[in-house]
Structure formats: C-alpha cells, structure tokens
C-alpha cells in the first residue's frame, strides 16, 4: 500500500522518503514508535510492546496518551505523503502499519537474498552473486543508527547484522564458485576482523586462499581462527572448518561449486520449513512439562536474573544468557556470551541463528520447542 515514490528504511538511519525527498518523522520517541511499526509491518504491534520499547523499563505516566498522539502525528505525516489513512490502522492489541515489502529496504534485502540463494541452489552462480550483492546494497549504515539510545535497537541490530553476515558469506561462496576467489580475499579479511568468531566467514576465506593456490595463507587463516576461538572463548573450531583444513593439508581439490550449491539448498530448505516472517499472534517456547513461555514483540530476554522476560533460576544458566529477536525477518536466537552456550537442534550456535517452527532449543538443562502458532 504505497503510491509510487514512497520508500522506507531501517538498514541505516530510520528513513522515509518521497521521490528521494526525506520526510521528517518527528521527535526521537515518535520515530522509535514508527521504527517498531515498520519492523513489524503487516502485523499488529501491541500497545504494551510499543510502550516497553520506547519508554523501556520506566514508562512515563502519560505514555499511553503520548503514544496515541504519536500515532495521530504519524498518520498525518503518511497522509500528507500520499499514503491512505488506513495504512496505519488500529489492530488489536495495538496498531498495524501496512506497506509493501518492496517499499522497504529490509523487504528488498530479503527478496534479493532469497533470489540469490535460489540461483546458487540451481548452480547459477553469476546470477547468485548479482542478487546477493543487490541485497547488501540495501544497507546504508548501522541499523537504526539514529535511534541507538533505545535498548530495543541493540537486539534488532544484532539479528539483522547476523542476516547481513550470512549474505556476505553466501556472496563470497558464489564468487568463489564463479572462479573469482581473488576478489573476495580482501573483503573477507575485513569481515573476519570485524566478526572473528564467525566460522563460516573464516571457511570462505580459507577456501578463497586455497583456490588461488595460496595453501600457506589458507593454513595460516585456520591457525588464526583456532587461536582466537581458544583464547577468547575456550573452544575448538567446529568439525566443518577442521575437515576443510585436513583436506588442504592433503592438497585435495575442493568442489567449490558443489559446496555452494549444497549450502544454498540447505538454507532454502530451512527457510521453507518455517516462515521467514511469522504472522502468528501466538508464538512462544514450550518446555518438556508443557509450560508455555510467550515471546514478546521484538525481543525476549532469557537468563537467570530477575530482569529477564523468561527467568530460568538455575546455576547452569547465565545471568543474561540469550535473547530471541524478531526484527521483521523471522525470529533469531542470539547468544549473549553465555558461559555454556545455546543449542538449537542439538548444535551449539556460534553467535546467532535463525529459528524456525518446531526447533528444539536447549539453555543449560532447560529444553524448549519453538511454536510459531
């Protein structure tokens, strides 16, 4: 629901533009309300969730009145920009913003990502690289960088940065499959410096070096990631990257095209097994006893301390162990540097991972099943 020329953005500062003319969305709290609605586009965002996010732990006494005023102001801004008034509508238990997916940078990012994965799964690697590059081109800077004072932005940014890294990894894999390994070494070195615990990035860097005939550099990259993981996290590299090192030591050829195709097929299969954007109004975790823990809008914090949304009072759970975030691309589990990790489908996650309906989650001795409605 938009006239031609209206565009919205969250992959950078919050942005609304009409024919490339930036439209002011008002004061910080009003912009934060709009950001929440934009991230939840097409779905009701509850009044309580909006107040919790914008007024955080100490809501102002007049928060509800202020929220209604902000909604009225935003409706006026949208109407003056050519949007129908019903684009921002009351939808119990809160409000819903209806905008087309291609009217948002996040929607276009998701669309191009999926197109790239489908191309890679079909073995069309040049096309995959083009689509994945187009997805990454949607990013303008830090997620909601102008709203960084609001705590909900941290959780949203963590989830979306994880999405971006997965696309960076997939693009590198596609470029290597196209025979362009030399072109991705520099960008991958930058990425592993920024995200040193992301083994898939390291695996692509190692593969790129080896594909260029630089075996010594490939093995040095493995030594670097092994040292970082041991010193910082006290863990060893995973089986996949360790197996890659062994193949390089034996100087075996790597089937980079087969690997890229298999990765894309697996990722698409995971996306099909659950909704990338859950529209369920009832989403949560169910433990082995049947107890239900509802997920909050945007972010659900899990840990031992009482200020978490889901409190697990056990010695094997860190004070702030994990957070489940839905930033508009589907739920993402984020490990908050916990002492003993978070396990999804029996595998310890490296930092973040997408979640899907029916996923088994283990935090300490507590086991849950994700239900998206």
Per-residue model confidence as pLDDT tens digits over 291-338 = 999 988 778 889 998 888 899 999 999 999 999 988 767 788 988 889
| % of the chain residues with pLDDT over 70 | 95
pLDDT at 272 over 90: no
Q: Which pTM does this prediction carry?
A: 0.83
pLDDT at 278 over 60: no
**What is the dihedral sign for C-alpha 70, 282, 354, 168?**
negative
3-state secondary structure of 44: coil
Band (pLDDT 50/70/90 cuts) for residue 1 is very low
Q: What is the pLDDT of residues 152-196, one digit of tens each?
A: 898 888 889 888 999 999 999 999 999 999 999 999 999 999 999
What is the structure's pLDDT at 49? 83
Lowest mean pLDDT among 31-35, 42-46, 139-143, 191-195: 42-46
**What is the dihedral sign for C-alpha 177, 179, 181, 183?**
negative
Lowest mean pLDDT among 233-237, 291-295, 302-306, 360-364: 233-237
- What ranges in the chain are assigned the alpha helix state H? 28-39, 47-55, 63-80, 105-121, 125-136, 151-177, 181-194, 199-211, 215-228, 239-249, 256-273
What is the structure's pLDDT at 146? 97
| % of the chain residues with pLDDT over 90 | 69
- 241 exposure class (CB count in 10 Å sphere: 0-12, 13-18, 19+): buried
What is the structure's pLDDT at 4? 61
Mean pLDDT of 251-270: 92
Q: What is the pLDDT of residues 11-27, one digit of tens each?
A: 999 999 999 999 999 99
pLDDT at 113 over 70: yes
What is the structure's pLDDT at 57? 66
What is the structure's pLDDT at 87? 95
Q: CA 140, CA 136: separation in Å to the nearest integer?
A: 9
What is the structure's pLDDT at 362? 97
Q: Provide CB contacts within 8 A for 248, sequence distance 6+.
A: 206, 210, 215, 218, 219, 222
Compute the radius of gyration of the chain from its Cα atoms: 22
What is the structure's pLDDT at 46? 85
Q: What are phi and psi of 250, to 5 degrees?
A: -85, 0
pLDDT at 280 over 50: no
Q: Domains in the chain, start-ordered, CATH in brackets?
A: 6-100 (1.10.10.10), 105-273 (1.25.40.10), 284-371 (2.60.200.20)
Distance from the Cα of residue 215 to its chain's centroid: 33
* 199-204 long-range contacts, CB within 8 A, separation 24+: 199/225, 199/237, 199/238, 199/240, 199/241, 199/350, 200/166, 200/169, 201/165, 201/168, 201/169, 201/172, 202/241, 203/240, 203/241, 203/244, 204/169, 204/172, 204/173, 204/176
């Amino acid at each position: 629901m938009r006239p031609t020329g209206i565009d919205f953005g969250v992959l950078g500062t919050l942005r609304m533009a009409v024919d490339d003319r930036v439209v002011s969305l008002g004061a910080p709290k009003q912009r934060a309300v709009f950001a929440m609605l934009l991230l939840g586009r097409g779905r009701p965002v509850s009044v309580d969730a909006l107040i919790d996010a914008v007024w955080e732990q100490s809501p102002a006494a007049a928060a509800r009145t202020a929220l209604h005023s902000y909604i009225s102001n935003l409706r006026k801004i949208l109407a003056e920009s050519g949007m129908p008034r019903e684009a921002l509508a009351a939808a119990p238990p809160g409000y819903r913003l209806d905008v087309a997916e291609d009217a948002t940078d996040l929607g276009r990012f998701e669309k191009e990502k999926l197109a790239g994965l489908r191309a890679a799964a079909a073995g069309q690697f040049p096309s995959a690289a083009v689509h994945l590059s187009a997805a990454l081109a949607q990013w303008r800077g830090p997620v909601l960088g102008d709203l960084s004072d609001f705590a909900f932005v941290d959780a949203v940014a963590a989830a979306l940065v994880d999405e971006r890294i997965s696309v960076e990894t997939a693009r590198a894999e596609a470029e290597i499959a196209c025979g362009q390994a030399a072109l991705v070494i520099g960008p991958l070195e930058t990425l592993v410096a920024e995200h040193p615990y992301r083994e898939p990035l390291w695996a692509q860097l190692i593969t790129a070096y080896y594909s260029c005939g630089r075996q010594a550099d490939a093995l040095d990259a493995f030594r670097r990631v092994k040292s970082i993981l041991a010193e910082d996290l006290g863990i060893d590299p995973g089986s996949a990257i360790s197996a890659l090192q062994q193949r390089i030591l034996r100087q075996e050829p790597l089937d980079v095209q087969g690997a890229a195709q298999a990765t894309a097929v697996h990722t698409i299969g995971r996306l099909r097994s659950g909704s990338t954007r859950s529209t369920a109004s009832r989403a949560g975790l169910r433990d082995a006893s049947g107890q239900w823990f509802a997920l909050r809008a945007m972010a659900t914090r899990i840990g031992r301390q009482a200020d978490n949304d889901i409190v697990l009072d056990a010695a094997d759970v860190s004070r702030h162990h994990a957070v489940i975030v839905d930033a508009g691309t589907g739920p993402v589990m984020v490990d908050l540097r916990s002492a003993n990790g978070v396990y999804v489908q029996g595998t310890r996650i490296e930092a973040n991972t997408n979640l899907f309906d029916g996923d088994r989650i283990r935090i300490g001795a507590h086991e849950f099943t994700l239900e998206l409605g």
